[in-house]
Amino acid sequence: MSAEPIPSTQFIRTLPDRCRVCYSCVRSCPAKAIRIVDGQADVIAQRCVGCGHCVRMCSQKAKQVVGAGDKARQLLSLDTPVAALVAPSYPAEFTDISTSHFVGMLRALGFSRVVEVAFGADLVARRYRSLYNHGPAGPMIEASCPAVVSFIEKFHPTLVGTLAPVVSPMVATGRLVKRRYGADTSCIFIGPCIAKKGESERFPEDVDCAITFVELRGLLSEAGIVAADVIPSEFDPPHARGGGVYPLSHGIFHAAGIGEDLFSHNTVSATGRSEFLEAIHELEQGDFSARFVEMLACSGCVMGAGMSTACQLHAREAQVARVAKERKEMFDLDRWKTELDAALDLQLERDFLSEDRRLASPGADQLAEILCQMGKIFPEDELNCGACGYESCVEHAVAIYKGLAEDKMCLPFTIERLENTVQALERSQEELAHAQAALMHSERLASMGQLAAGIAHEVNNPLGVVLLYAHILMERCEKNPEIIQEIGMIAEQADRCKKIVSGLLQFARRNKVIHQPVDIPSMLHHLVKTMDTDPGITWEIRVEMTDPVAQIDADQILQVLTNLITNAQDAMTEGGRITVSASDTPSHLRLAVGDTGCGIARENISRIYSPFFTTKKIGKGTGLGLAVSYGIIKMHSGDIQVETNADPACGPTGTTFIISLPRLGGE
């Protein structure tokens, strides 16, 4: 018998608006048929086996089963008879409805025949018993689960030969119904399995369409059919017997009368995602001694994704077992055997296709490169946390190579990358804040400089006239000491005004920085020697430089240091120590001037570089020294910071100005 083509119809799709990219679907999918593209989970129809694990695992209901409700409505609207092929797991779904009322609801919906697929399971079980007793000695996989069959055909084609060449109970029932009730009878399978939709497409002559119990509930609700309003009815013959427990784990062994001998270990039941995957792996490795393998993608058909009940596994199994036992006791054994013998010539054989959907795997170098891109350079970097949906970092990297995954699915890598981004943003924000502050200060200095230059030029000329005539008057009044003293006061204050004007012009001037190699230790020693030292003040020079030469504008830096030293002396009216130090790094020069004076009050620190701000007594300063120094340092692309303490309770008082300059002028 020729094999039926494998359909690639999409039975499960993602609702993008609901998907939160938690990777639960990736984690649960045995076929890895979920592709993550731009942060969205997409079901690949060609790889999907219809097991429905992703539907069951998605808490956001983002995985939607593509229903066949429209086709079922269309078939029910025709004049031709329609048979409902009911899976034996129905008691686990409709727990609060009796079998007779359930059948009555289906008839009210428009089904002319309601047949138990459990009888098809009896037929198939008989064929399996024959194969077990008289078939090959090698391992044989039961082929009733369409998800397992599709998985083997697509991803383990070397095992296709181990699949038992027997149709599923659904197909067997469909063939029996069409032979018994007429070929024009449409067959609609009703069960818990999404993969049955694909199987019905492979056997369109036997089953017209397949719907889940969830879809059936929708049709009943749409038609307004409830159990209390229907006439109780019974399934149409033939009636099942052992097939009622077929949907349970180990059900095939009971239905087929195959004993499970733990000593011989001839039979194995591998149900559920982990177990069936492990069994397939062992089969491929040749480590399998059992002759007959029950293999189900779910933990029994009672756990299919097409069910809506909230009951757990064992409660569902108990419901199915209870109803199966009741129905087994209801019907005559001889009648059942007669029905079974009447179907002895029913065609139950089938073939399988090898439709390899495996993707090429990366080489060792390619794999290492992908892992490196995710920050996994060494084996200890591979956390194998499973947050990405893959069991190991290597599996994730392989999926990236195959185009099924993205590197940002790695949670530790994404967290590390986000932390680096946050740190970079924080640094950028700090740099921006400093730049904005410097720009505002520069603009303030520029505007103050323009104002100062204008005032200085306007005042300088009349001030020169005042000084000139003051000195002339002093020469003419040599014989009048009292007048000379008063005129001397005028000349002295005018001279002070001249110095202030000179300071204003210096502040307003934007001298060009001329970088030249300078021996820093020599410059500092020369500066200290030339400074006028007030009584009670001592000096300390500290030089810790690996390279004593730096490219700076010596005149301008000396002006800055002179201003700082002058301020330090003014802050130590009762004497103290001035420390001038120099240190370096490969890229920067660090100069510092510290004193043991009174310190700067906390409330004044933010204003010390503002023009005309001073804490000195009237006549002791213009308030331009630090403003000019700040401008010079900024023109050198440097930075100036202050450390100070004005509170004796917090420790020794004093102030230290720290200057940082690029040691190469072009930087």
Could you tell me the CATH number of the domain that includes residue 452?
Answer: 1.10.287
- Overall average pLDDT of the 639-659 stretch: 91
What is the per-residue pLDDT for 399?
95
What is the per-residue pLDDT for 450?
66
- Residue 431 confidence (pLDDT) above 90: no
- Residue 619 confidence (pLDDT) above 60: no
- Residue 446 confidence (pLDDT) above 90: no
State the Rg of the chain over Cα. Answer: 46
pLDDT digit string (tens) for 376-399?
999 999 999 999 999 999 999 999
- Overall average pLDDT of the 290-318 stretch: 94
Q: Which of 150-164, 257-271, 436-450, 566-580 has the lowest mean pLDDT?
A: 436-450
- Residue 405 confidence (pLDDT) above 80: yes
On whether the pTM is more than 0.75, the answer is no
CB 87 within 8 A of CB 189: yes
CB 156 within 8 A of CB 358: no
Is 414 a member of any domain?
no
Question: CB 28: neighbour CB atoms within 10 A?
Answer: 19
The helix (run of H) or strand (run of E) holding residue 488 is helix 481-508
> Are residues 129 and 33 both part of a single domain?
yes
> Are residues 430 and 333 both part of a single domain?
no
> Are residues 170 and 316 both part of a single domain?
yes
pLDDT digit string (tens) for 459-471?
777 877 777 877 8
Of 356, 376, 409, the position where a domain reaches its end is 409
- Overall average pLDDT of the 281-294 stretch: 90
C-alpha torsion 126→132→138→143, nearest 10: 20
Label the pairing between strands 82-86 and 186-191. Answer: parallel
What is the per-residue pLDDT for 609?
76
Q: What CATH code is carried by the domain that includes residue 155?
A: 3.40.50.1780
| DSSP letter, residue 363 | -
- Report the amino acid identity of residue 539: W
Mean of the per-residue pLDDT values for the chain?
A: 89
| DSSP letter, residue 630 | H
**Which residues are bridge partners to 186 per DSSP?**
82
> Are residues 286 and 172 both part of a single domain?
yes
> Are residues 395 and 435 both part of a single domain?
no
Is 4 a member of any domain?
no
d(CA 259, CA 273): 25
d(CA 582, CA 218): 84
Measured CA distances, 338 to 83, 236, 324, 646 (Å)? 22, 16, 20, 110
Give alpha helix (H) positions in 157-298.
Answer: 169-181, 195-202, 213-223, 251-256, 273-285
Q: Which of 32-41, 114-123, 448-457, 648-657 has the lowest mean pLDDT?
A: 448-457
Q: Which of 13-17, 93-97, 184-188, 606-610 has the lowest mean pLDDT?
A: 606-610
> Are residues 103 and 233 both part of a single domain?
yes
Question: CB 486: neighbour CB atoms within 10 A?
Answer: 14
- Residue 76 confidence (pLDDT) above 80: yes
> Are residues 174 and 311 both part of a single domain?
yes
Residue 296 buriedness (CB in 10 A; 0-12 / 13-18 / 19+) = buried
Is 415 a member of any domain?
no
> Are residues 630 and 605 both part of a single domain?
yes
What is the per-residue pLDDT for 511?
60
> Are residues 446 and 525 both part of a single domain?
no
> Are residues 496 and 572 both part of a single domain?
no
> Are residues 325 and 191 both part of a single domain?
yes
- Residue 509 confidence (pLDDT) above 80: no
What is the per-residue pLDDT for 497?
76
Is 3 a member of any domain?
no
The helix (run of H) or strand (run of E) holding residue 200 is helix 195-202
The phi, psi pair for 73, rounded to 5°, reads -60, -40
- Overall average pLDDT of the 584-608 stretch: 89
Question: CB 29: neighbour CB atoms within 10 A?
Answer: 23
What is the per-residue pLDDT for 456?
66
What is the per-residue pLDDT for 656?
94
What is the per-residue pLDDT for 261?
75
pLDDT digit string (tens) for 156-213?
999 999 999 999 999 999 999 999 999 999 999 999 999 999 999 999 999 999 999 9
Measured CA distances, 202 to 53, 124, 198, 358, 460 (Å)? 22, 18, 7, 21, 104
Of 508, 524, 552, the position where a domain reaches its end is 508
Is 485 a member of any domain?
yes
What is the per-residue pLDDT for 535?
86
> Are residues 30 and 115 both part of a single domain?
yes
- Report the amino acid identity of residue 30: P
- Overall average pLDDT of the 297-301 stretch: 95
**Which residues are bridge partners to 308 per DSSP?**
none
What is the per-residue pLDDT for 260?
79
What is the per-residue pLDDT for 621?
61
Is 140 a member of any domain?
yes
Q: How many domains in the chain?
A: 4
Q: Which residue has the higher pLDDT, 498 or 152?
A: 152
What is the per-residue pLDDT for 78?
93
**Which residues are bridge partners to 589 per DSSP?**
584, 661
Q: The domain containing residue 255 runs over which residues?
A: 12-342
Give the three-state DSSP class for 662: strand
What is the per-residue pLDDT for 448?
60
Of 461, 479, 508, the position where a domain reaches its end is 508
C-alpha torsion 215→216→221→224, nearest 10: 150
Is 355 a member of any domain?
no
Q: What CATH code is carried by the domain that includes residue 648?
A: 3.30.565.10
What is the per-residue pLDDT for 347?
95
Is 646 a member of any domain?
yes
- Confidence at 603, pLDDT banded by 50, 70, 90: confident
